[in-house]
Amino acid sequence: MAVSSVSRPQSRRLSSLPSVQALMIQLAALGLAALAWLLLARSGFALAPLAAAFLQGALAAMLSRWRGQAAWWHLIHFLFLPAALAMLALQLPPWLFLATFLAMLALYWSTFRTQVPFYASGSAAWDAVAMELPKRPLRIIDIGSGLGGLALNIAARRPDCKVTGIELAPLPWLASRLRPGGSVNCRFLRGDYQALDFADYDVVFAYLSPAAMPQLWAKARAEMRPGALLLSHEFIVPDTAPQIRRPTRPGGPMLYGWQM
């Protein structure tokens, strides 16, 4: 009895992972597409392999939307099987598939687990963040720092501050470590921001994804000290009005901020 009571929660956690959901969606869509292909074949209508692949992709995208996955998953589901068929038709060498897989793994690493794809914030967001920083020495953390652009930019603008970037994916982290223009008040860590204690920082900047915002907000509320500032580029905390709403550029994404 003890074993079953533990295994059921574990299986639920496993099935809730976006990568596992994606696999289940692809398999379900494949079964539905195969059924449609058989029914059409019996009626005398032959469906070309590429058309069948796009049918499977459309079904997978609809299932992904129904399951409430992030919008970028819909496009992945739609193009996955057609892209696989196209790659096979081109008869590319096997080593190219391995090299592509390793490069994507190094770049996106934990995207399937965290639901946070690689985003680049850009100079307009850096300007907006700089304008919202209090005029005193600060300890600033950029969670999911990517290639390190924001951390390096803020460190150069504000030599009175200590700026840290943390990135889980190894390739962007390595690129940030090797970039020129580093300074003594800027450093980069490789790891999961969930392992950090937000109480160590005066400002937390995030550019994650809508799926990650509730968990980020819970951690910020639990750990950030009174007066500390949480900034988020483009994505808002559900059901929590921000005190800061600054456009990064005319018609562009917003920078949101919450004072603890």
67-76 per-position pLDDT tens digit: 776 666 788 8
Dist. CA 220–CA 196, nearest whole Å: 11
150-202 per-position pLDDT tens digit: 999 999 999 999 999 998 887 788 888 888 766 789 999 988 899 999 999 99
What does pLDDT average to over the chain? Answer: 82
Residue 8 clears pLDDT 50, i.e. is over it: no
What pLDDT is stored for residue 6 in this prediction? Answer: 37
Strands (E), 56-155: 139-143
Dist. CA 105–CA 107, nearest whole Å: 5
**Residue pair 198/173 in contact by the 8 Å Cβ criterion:** no
pTM over 0.75: no
Dist. CA 196–CA 26, nearest whole Å: 35
26-60 per-position pLDDT tens digit: 899 999 999 988 888 888 888 888 888 899 999 99
Domain ranges of the chain: 2-91, 123-259
Return the CATH fold of 123-259: Rossmann fold (3.40.50)
Q: What is the largest CA-CA distance in the chain?
A: 75
Closest C-alpha to 149, from 125, 132, 114, 171: 125
What pLDDT is stored for residue 74 in this prediction? Answer: 82
